[in-house]
Amino acid sequence: MENILLEEGMLAPDFELEGSDRKIHSLKDYRGKTIILYFYPKDNTPG
Structural domain total, the chain: 1
Q: Residue 6 domain-assigned?
A: no
> Which structural domain, as residue segments, surrounds residue 42?
15-47
Task: Report yes or no on 22 lying in a domain.
Answer: yes
The answer to whether residue 23 sits within a structural domain is yes
Give residue 1's pLDDT band: very low, low, confident or very high (50, 70, 90): low
Torsion of CA 3, 23, 44, 4, to 10 degrees: 10
Residue 3 lies in a domain: no
> What sign has the CA pseudo-torsion 11, 29, 38, 35?
positive
When comparing pLDDT for 31 and 44, which is higher?
31
Q: pLDDT band at 47, cuts 50/70/90? A: low
Q: Note whether residue 24 is domain-resident.
A: yes
How many Cα atoms within 13 Å fall on the side-chain side of residue 10?
8
Task: Tell me the average pLDDT across 37-45.
Answer: 76
The pLDDT assigned to 12 comes to: 83
- Alpha carbons 5 and 2: distance in angstroms, whole number: 10
pLDDT, tens digit, 9 for 90 and up, residues 12-40: 888 898 999 999 999 999 989 988 877 77
